[in-house]
Amino acid sequence: MKVLLFGPNGSGKGTQGAIVKERFQIPHIETGVIFRENIAKGTELGKQAKAYIDRGELVPDSITIPMILERLKQPDCAKGWLLDGFPRNLTQAQELDKALKKEGIQLDYVIEIVLDRQTAKNRIMGRRLCVNDNNHPNNIYIEAIKPNGDRCRVCGGELKTRSDDQDEKAIDQRHNIYYDDKTGTMAAINYFKDLSKRQGGVPKIVEVNGLPGVKEVTQELLQKLGLA
Ligand code: AMP
Protein backbone atom coordinates (compact mmCIF):
# COMPACT_ATOMS: atom_id res chain seq x y z
CA MET A 1 0.00 0.00 0.00
CA LYS A 2 1.43 3.37 -1.05
CA VAL A 3 -0.09 6.27 0.83
CA LEU A 4 0.42 10.04 1.05
CA LEU A 5 -0.75 11.78 4.21
CA PHE A 6 -1.55 15.50 4.29
CA GLY A 7 -2.75 17.73 7.11
CA PRO A 8 -1.66 21.04 8.62
CA ASN A 9 0.50 21.25 11.69
CA GLY A 10 -1.95 20.83 14.58
CA SER A 11 -4.39 18.56 12.73
CA GLY A 12 -3.35 15.39 14.54
CA LYS A 13 -1.61 14.07 11.43
CA GLY A 14 1.16 12.38 13.45
CA THR A 15 -1.33 10.48 15.60
CA GLN A 16 -3.45 9.34 12.65
CA GLY A 17 -0.34 8.46 10.65
CA ALA A 18 0.86 6.12 13.39
CA ILE A 19 -2.50 4.31 13.30
CA VAL A 20 -2.53 3.95 9.49
CA LYS A 21 1.03 2.66 9.52
CA GLU A 22 0.08 0.06 12.12
CA ARG A 23 -3.01 -1.11 10.26
CA PHE A 24 -1.33 -1.36 6.86
CA GLN A 25 1.98 -2.60 8.33
CA ILE A 26 4.02 -0.18 6.23
CA PRO A 27 6.93 2.09 7.17
CA HIS A 28 5.92 5.60 8.25
CA ILE A 29 8.30 7.95 6.51
CA GLU A 30 8.24 11.42 8.03
CA THR A 31 10.42 14.03 6.40
CA GLY A 32 10.58 16.14 9.57
CA VAL A 33 11.73 13.12 11.62
CA ILE A 34 14.47 12.27 9.12
CA PHE A 35 15.73 15.86 9.32
CA ARG A 36 15.62 15.93 13.12
CA GLU A 37 17.52 12.61 13.33
CA ASN A 38 20.19 14.01 11.04
CA ILE A 39 20.45 17.17 13.12
CA ALA A 40 20.80 15.12 16.31
CA LYS A 41 23.53 12.99 14.75
CA GLY A 42 25.32 16.07 13.40
CA THR A 43 25.42 14.79 9.80
CA GLU A 44 26.15 17.04 6.83
CA LEU A 45 22.48 16.84 5.82
CA GLY A 46 21.45 17.87 9.34
CA LYS A 47 23.79 20.85 9.28
CA GLN A 48 22.39 22.01 5.94
CA ALA A 49 18.77 21.60 7.05
CA LYS A 50 18.91 23.10 10.55
CA ALA A 51 18.74 26.83 9.78
CA TYR A 52 15.71 26.38 7.52
CA ILE A 53 13.90 24.23 10.05
CA ASP A 54 14.55 26.70 12.87
CA ARG A 55 12.88 29.44 10.83
CA GLY A 56 9.92 27.21 9.89
CA GLU A 57 10.96 27.41 6.22
CA LEU A 58 11.15 24.50 3.84
CA VAL A 59 14.52 22.84 3.40
CA PRO A 60 15.46 23.40 -0.30
CA ASP A 61 14.05 20.92 -2.82
CA SER A 62 17.58 20.14 -4.01
CA ILE A 63 18.22 18.51 -0.61
CA THR A 64 14.76 17.15 0.24
CA ILE A 65 13.65 15.54 -3.02
CA PRO A 66 16.69 13.26 -3.58
CA MET A 67 16.68 12.36 0.14
CA ILE A 68 13.09 11.09 0.01
CA LEU A 69 13.34 9.38 -3.38
CA GLU A 70 16.42 7.54 -2.08
CA ARG A 71 14.55 6.53 1.10
CA LEU A 72 11.71 5.04 -0.96
CA LYS A 73 14.20 2.74 -2.69
CA GLN A 74 15.19 1.04 0.59
CA PRO A 75 14.16 -2.63 0.95
CA ASP A 76 11.59 -1.96 3.70
CA CYS A 77 9.62 0.17 1.22
CA ALA A 78 9.18 -2.60 -1.34
CA LYS A 79 5.68 -3.49 -0.13
CA GLY A 80 4.55 0.04 0.55
CA TRP A 81 4.96 3.18 2.59
CA LEU A 82 3.16 6.00 4.28
CA LEU A 83 4.72 9.28 3.26
CA ASP A 84 4.10 12.06 5.78
CA GLY A 85 5.42 15.61 5.32
CA PHE A 86 6.31 15.06 1.68
CA PRO A 87 5.42 16.40 -0.84
CA ARG A 88 5.07 19.80 0.78
CA ASN A 89 5.02 21.94 -2.34
CA LEU A 90 4.02 21.67 -5.99
CA THR A 91 7.52 20.93 -7.28
CA GLN A 92 7.93 18.05 -4.82
CA ALA A 93 4.54 16.67 -5.92
CA GLN A 94 5.50 16.79 -9.59
CA GLU A 95 8.89 15.22 -8.93
CA LEU A 96 7.40 12.45 -6.80
CA ASP A 97 4.80 11.67 -9.45
CA LYS A 98 7.49 11.59 -12.12
CA ALA A 99 9.76 9.31 -10.06
CA LEU A 100 6.91 6.89 -9.24
CA LYS A 101 5.82 6.71 -12.88
CA LYS A 102 9.40 6.01 -13.92
CA GLU A 103 9.56 3.08 -11.49
CA GLY A 104 6.07 1.86 -12.46
CA ILE A 105 4.83 2.40 -8.91
CA GLN A 106 1.16 3.21 -8.36
CA LEU A 107 -0.04 5.43 -5.55
CA ASP A 108 -3.06 3.91 -3.75
CA TYR A 109 -4.33 6.60 -1.38
CA VAL A 110 -3.96 10.31 -0.78
CA ILE A 111 -5.29 11.19 2.68
CA GLU A 112 -6.10 14.78 3.57
CA ILE A 113 -7.00 15.76 7.13
CA VAL A 114 -9.03 18.91 6.57
CA LEU A 115 -8.77 21.59 9.25
CA ASP A 116 -9.12 25.36 9.10
CA ARG A 117 -6.11 27.50 9.86
CA GLN A 118 -7.29 29.18 13.07
CA THR A 119 -8.30 25.88 14.69
CA ALA A 120 -4.98 24.32 13.73
CA LYS A 121 -3.11 27.24 15.29
CA ASN A 122 -5.18 27.13 18.50
CA ARG A 123 -4.50 23.43 18.84
CA ILE A 124 -0.74 23.93 18.64
CA MET A 125 -0.64 26.93 20.95
CA GLY A 126 -3.11 25.43 23.41
CA ARG A 127 -1.17 22.20 23.88
CA ARG A 128 0.08 21.63 27.44
CA LEU A 129 2.45 18.87 28.50
CA CYS A 130 2.02 17.03 31.78
CA VAL A 131 5.36 16.74 33.58
CA ASN A 132 4.36 13.28 34.87
CA ASP A 133 3.27 11.67 31.61
CA ASN A 134 3.59 12.67 27.96
CA ASN A 135 0.45 10.70 27.17
CA HIS A 136 -1.83 12.84 29.32
CA PRO A 137 -3.37 15.09 26.68
CA ASN A 138 -4.23 18.64 27.78
CA ASN A 139 -5.23 21.56 25.58
CA ILE A 140 -6.65 24.83 26.81
CA TYR A 141 -8.60 25.29 23.53
CA ILE A 142 -10.14 21.81 23.28
CA GLU A 143 -13.14 21.32 25.53
CA ALA A 144 -12.77 17.53 25.82
CA ILE A 145 -9.21 17.73 27.12
CA LYS A 146 -9.19 21.06 28.93
CA PRO A 147 -6.81 21.11 31.91
CA ASN A 148 -8.21 21.20 35.40
CA GLY A 149 -7.37 24.81 36.18
CA ASP A 150 -3.62 25.00 35.65
CA ARG A 151 -3.09 21.28 36.44
CA CYS A 152 -3.19 18.10 34.33
CA ARG A 153 -6.77 16.90 33.81
CA VAL A 154 -5.68 13.26 34.19
CA CYS A 155 -3.36 13.24 37.19
CA GLY A 156 -3.31 16.79 38.55
CA GLY A 157 0.37 17.12 37.63
CA GLU A 158 2.12 20.33 36.70
CA LEU A 159 1.70 21.49 33.09
CA LYS A 160 4.36 22.90 30.78
CA THR A 161 4.38 24.26 27.22
CA ARG A 162 6.69 23.16 24.42
CA SER A 163 8.81 26.13 23.39
CA ASP A 164 8.32 25.57 19.65
CA ASP A 165 4.54 25.36 20.18
CA GLN A 166 4.58 28.94 21.45
CA ASP A 167 6.64 30.36 18.59
CA GLU A 168 3.77 32.04 16.79
CA LYS A 169 5.93 33.28 13.94
CA ALA A 170 7.21 29.80 13.11
CA ILE A 171 3.69 28.35 13.34
CA ASP A 172 2.36 31.04 10.98
CA GLN A 173 5.24 30.44 8.62
CA ARG A 174 4.51 26.69 8.49
CA HIS A 175 0.81 27.36 7.93
CA ASN A 176 1.57 29.92 5.19
CA ILE A 177 3.31 27.13 3.33
CA TYR A 178 0.61 24.54 4.05
CA TYR A 179 -2.41 26.62 3.01
CA ASP A 180 -0.75 28.08 -0.11
CA ASP A 181 -2.68 26.70 -3.09
CA LYS A 182 -0.45 28.33 -5.71
CA THR A 183 2.87 26.59 -5.06
CA GLY A 184 2.63 25.26 -1.46
CA THR A 185 1.20 22.12 0.13
CA MET A 186 -2.40 22.80 -0.97
CA ALA A 187 -1.10 23.01 -4.54
CA ALA A 188 0.55 19.60 -4.02
CA ILE A 189 -2.74 18.15 -2.72
CA ASN A 190 -4.64 19.62 -5.67
CA TYR A 191 -2.05 18.17 -8.03
CA PHE A 192 -2.90 14.65 -6.82
CA LYS A 193 -6.64 15.39 -6.82
CA ASP A 194 -6.41 16.40 -10.49
CA LEU A 195 -4.30 13.35 -11.25
CA SER A 196 -6.89 11.14 -9.57
CA LYS A 197 -9.67 12.68 -11.67
CA ARG A 198 -7.70 12.12 -14.87
CA GLN A 199 -6.88 8.52 -13.89
CA GLY A 200 -10.42 7.43 -13.03
CA GLY A 201 -10.07 7.72 -9.25
CA VAL A 202 -6.51 6.44 -8.85
CA PRO A 203 -5.04 7.29 -6.40
CA LYS A 204 -8.14 7.29 -4.23
CA ILE A 205 -8.58 10.63 -2.47
CA VAL A 206 -9.63 10.27 1.18
CA GLU A 207 -10.70 13.50 2.87
CA VAL A 208 -11.39 13.39 6.60
CA ASN A 209 -12.72 16.13 8.81
CA GLY A 210 -10.05 17.01 11.39
CA LEU A 211 -12.41 18.97 13.66
CA PRO A 212 -13.77 16.25 15.97
CA GLY A 213 -11.70 14.40 18.58
CA VAL A 214 -8.90 11.95 17.76
CA LYS A 215 -11.15 8.87 18.05
CA GLU A 216 -13.79 10.24 15.68
CA VAL A 217 -11.18 11.26 13.12
CA THR A 218 -9.60 7.79 13.30
CA GLN A 219 -13.00 6.17 12.85
CA GLU A 220 -13.82 8.20 9.74
CA LEU A 221 -10.36 7.58 8.33
CA LEU A 222 -10.34 3.80 8.87
CA GLN A 223 -13.85 3.53 7.47
CA LYS A 224 -12.90 5.41 4.30
CA LEU A 225 -9.79 3.24 3.93
CA GLY A 226 -11.94 0.13 4.23
CA LEU A 227 -10.21 -0.87 7.48
CA ALA A 228 -12.99 -0.24 10.01
P1 AMP B 1 7.50 18.64 10.48
O2 AMP B 1 8.04 17.77 11.55
O3 AMP B 1 6.77 17.87 9.41
O4 AMP B 1 6.70 19.81 10.98
O5 AMP B 1 8.78 19.27 9.72
C6 AMP B 1 9.68 20.08 10.41
C7 AMP B 1 10.46 20.93 9.43
O8 AMP B 1 11.22 20.11 8.53
C9 AMP B 1 9.62 21.80 8.50
O10 AMP B 1 9.19 23.00 9.13
C11 AMP B 1 10.60 22.05 7.36
O12 AMP B 1 11.58 23.01 7.73
C13 AMP B 1 11.29 20.72 7.24
N14 AMP B 1 10.58 19.85 6.28
C15 AMP B 1 9.76 18.81 6.56
N16 AMP B 1 9.27 18.24 5.44
C17 AMP B 1 9.79 18.98 4.41
C18 AMP B 1 9.65 18.91 3.00
N19 AMP B 1 8.89 17.99 2.39
N20 AMP B 1 10.35 19.82 2.25
C21 AMP B 1 11.12 20.74 2.82
N22 AMP B 1 11.28 20.87 4.16
C23 AMP B 1 10.62 19.99 4.95
Q: Is 142 domain-assigned? A: no
Residue 15 inside a domain? The answer is: yes
Please tell me the predicted confidence (pLDDT) of residue 164.
64
State the burial class of residue 18 (Cβ atoms within 10 Å of its Cβ: 0-12, 13-18, 19+): middle
Q: In total, how many domains does the chain have?
A: 1
Q: Residue 181: how many CB atoms within 10 A of its CB?
A: 12
Domain that holds residue 168: 2-126+161-224
**Within-domain flag for 151:** no
Domain annotation covers residue 132: no
**pLDDT confidence tier of residue 141, bands split at 50, 70 and 90:** confident
Q: What angle do CA 222, 13, 219 make, to 5 degrees?
A: 20
| 138 ligand 1 Cβ < 6 A | no
Q: Could you list the active site residues?
A: 13, 88, 127, 162, 174
DSSP 67-103: HHHHHTTSGGGTT-EEEES---SHHHHHHHHHHHHHH
Residue 134 belongs to a domain: no
Does residue 179 form part of some domain? Answer: yes
Q: What is the pLDDT of residue 128?
A: 92
Please state the rounded mean pLDDT for residues 212-224: 93
Q: Count of residues for the chain?
A: 228
Whose Cα sits closest to atom 10 in ligand 1? 56
The CATH number for 60's domain is: 3.40.50.300
Residue 146 inside a domain? The answer is: no
Q: If you ran DSSP here, which 8-state letter would residue 59 be given?
A: P
- Is 152 part of a structural domain of the chain? no
Region 83-100 average pLDDT: 97
Contacts 24+ apart (CB under 8 A), 43-52: none
Confidence of residue 170 (pLDDT cuts 50, 70, 90): confident
Q: Is the pLDDT of residue 214 over 70?
A: yes
pLDDT digits (tens, 9 = 90+) for 4-36: 999 999 998 988 998 999 999 999 999 988 998
In terms of C-beta density within 10 A (0-12 exposed, 13-18 middle, 19 or more buried), how is residue 173 classed?
Answer: middle
- Does the C-beta of 32 come closer than 6 Å to ligand 1? yes
Percent of the chain with pLDDT over 90: 78
Distance 56 CA to ligand 1 centre (A): 8
Integer Cα distance of 129 and 136 in angstroms = 7
- CB 38 near ligand 1, within 6 Å: no
Instruction: Quick: pLDDT tens for 34-45.
Output: 998 999 999 999
